[in-house]
Amino acid sequence: MARIGIIGSAGRMGQALVEAVAAAGETHAGGVDKGDDVAALAKASDVLVDFSSPHALEANLDAAMAAGAGLVIGTTGLEERHHWLIDSAAEHIPVLQTGNTSLGVTLLAHLVREAAARLGEDWDIEISETHHRMKVDAPSGTALLLGQAAAEGRQVDLAGVSARGRDGITGARRAGDIGFAALRGGSVAGDHTVLFLGDDERLSLSHLAENRRIFAKGAIRAAQWLLGRPAGRYTMPQVLNL
């Protein structure tokens, strides 16, 4: 049985992760939140699952490296500096970082990449996402993950074609852009749609999250997969052998 520690255990996601550990037949090594001793938890764990905050990531990576524990990172809102830290840590321990741990979203990103690669640039790509009113970052990590998949399918840099926050007189849509729209309200766990809009036809690929349990289930599946892997940076598609 794998010993799985939860970073960010007090919130709704943390509670869902604890339940998912038990459902998977693994051992819950404990949980920590802001101000708790993450180093002690790392020493008691084979794999850590982190759904805390970007501000805590560096300390969490340091604790995992010191203990030789694997780390699954589901925290969103990461910046370039955070990815550099993850790359550095992955030289010493196995790390899996993703904007969404849902197995369905992982497959959706694969389908988006395939569609973008096969449809021409005369097909416009727009990504819409809806989340609960308490979400603090936009676009969501999942929307960015899907945008990255579309960009990879077209073999372009997402930063150069990303279109966000349209307002006022913006002019005609720039060819090749990947657009993002964020909606907030209610208690929505997470809805994402990728639209491919061509002349006289549209293709829509969607994923609707009905409960946070799907993210917890996928995160624990990733933790189980990561157990015993050599040092390196891994992704959710590898978990599904995509």
Q: Which residues are catalytic?
A: 131, 135
The packing angle between helices 12-23 and 213-226, to 10°, is 50
Q: How far is CA 195 from CA 147, 199, 206, 222, in A?
A: 11, 13, 9, 28
Cβ–Cβ under 8 Å, residues 219 and 73: no
- C-alpha to C-alpha distance for 26 and 174, rounded to whole angstroms: 50
- C-alpha to C-alpha distance for 240 and 221, rounded to whole angstroms: 10
Q: How far is CA 53 from CA 61, 111, 235, in A?
A: 12, 29, 19
User: Encoding tokens for residue 65?
Assistant: 């490296």
**Does the N-terminal peptide bond of residue 94 adopt cis geometry, omega within 30 degrees of 0?**
no
According to DSSP, residue 93 is labeled: S
User: Encoding tokens for residue 95?
Assistant: 């790390």
Cβ–Cβ under 8 Å, residues 73 and 97: yes
